[in-house]
Amino acid sequence: MALIHSFEKSGNTLFRFRGQIPVILFIIALPVIYFTNYSIISNSLNVILTIVAISLSILGFFIRAISIGTTPKGTSGRNTKNQVAESLNDTGIYSAVRHPLYLGNYFMWIGIVLFTFNIYFIIIVSLAFWLYYERIMFAEERFLEKKFGQKYLDWSLTAPAFIPSFKNYKKNTTPFSLKSVLRREYSGFLATVLCFTFIDYYRFFLLNQKIEWDRLSTYILAITIIITLTLRTIKHSTKLLNEEGRS
């Protein structure tokens, strides 16, 4: 099998299982946190790293929100199991970067990884992310090239694959929809908060040999769960978050 076909096939396979990556990261994080020497990290550095970690994850969520909130139904970027695209996204954030959802994923995950305070884990996850998603992006772009031909090629010449450039930015043709974001992103937001909370609890336990429930992360998690359950109920029991022309 030619390499181009091998890359495309493996990319499509990895695409279907990309939702399992957070679970794998969670499992790997357990020994990483256990063997990290936290005694060399001062309180001030702890606070700085925590703020940076949370900020990175918020940035990732913001990028995903912009991508999802401005994407119409049946276009590239909203597929979940197979490659699907009735039209090509090439305006708004998609005119600045071809894979904004994956860029958002990276920032969300690297924020969680940074919260372990382990530089080696950050480097390893960054490299693994690139190797994994490079194949997925390759497969997606092969699909788009076959379907949209020259239109895709013209877009790929002006919009970078992963590092944004606003040099050739085009105003979005689809208005931002908060409903789309609320309907589709609450589970990912909850998962992110859960990861931060778990790391906070686990690290505190390792350092103090006890569990302390009265922590800021506890209250943030509780609020997030309430919001998530509320949005989930609204999504499945009403049509308040439904919007015509949106996935």
Do residues 204 and 215 touch, judged by C-beta distance below 8 A? yes
User: What is the tens place of the pLDDT at every residue in 78-112?
Assistant: 455 555 566 788 889 999 999 999 999 999 999 99
**Mean pLDDT value of segment 148-162:** 90
1 exposure class (CB count in 10 Å sphere: 0-12, 13-18, 19+): exposed
Give the pLDDT confidence score for residue 32 in this predicted structure: 93
Q: If you average pLDDT over every residue of the chain, what do you get?
A: 88
Residue 120 confidence (pLDDT): 94
The confidence score (pLDDT) of residue 7 equals 65
Query: Residue 25: its pLDDT value, please?
Result: 78
Which range, 65-74, 136-145, 214-223, is most confident?
214-223
User: CA-CA distance, 169 to 50, in Å (whole number)?
Assistant: 33
User: Does residue 14 register a pLDDT over 90?
Assistant: no
The more confidently predicted of residues 68 and 77 is: 68
Cα 76 from Cα 102, distance rounded (Å) = 13
32 vs 3: which has the higher pLDDT: 32
Residue 2 has pLDDT above 70, yes or no: no
The CATH label, of 1.10.220, 2.130.10, 1.20.120, 1.20.140, for the domain at 3-175 is 1.20.120
**Residue 35's pLDDT band (cuts 50, 70, 90):** very high
Instruction: Write a three-state SS string for the chain.
Output: CCHHHHHHHHHHHHHHCHHHHHHHHHHHHHHHHHHCCHHHCCHHHHHHHHHHHHHHHHHHHHHHHHHHHCCCCCECCCCCCCCCCCECCCCHHHHCCCCHHHHHHHHHHHHHHHCCCCHHHHHHHHHHHHHHHHHHHHHHHHHHHHHHCHHHHHHHHHCCCCCCCCCCCCCCCCCCCHHHHHHHHHHHHHHHHHHHHHHHHHHHHHHHCCCCCCCHHHHHHHHHHHHHHHHHHHHHHCCCCCCCCCC
| Stretch 103-131: mean pLDDT | 94
Write down the domain spans for the chain. 3-175
Residue 1 pLDDT > 60: no
Q: Give the pLDDT band (50/70/90) at residue 164.
A: very high
- Give the residue-averaged pLDDT of 217-238: 96
Q: Is 243 left (phi over 0), alpha (psi -120 to 50) or beta?
A: beta
> Given a cut of 90, is residue 59 above it in pLDDT?
yes
Distance CA 233, CA 1 (A): 48
Q: Please determine, for residue 186, whether its predicted confidence score (pLDDT) is greater than 80.
A: yes
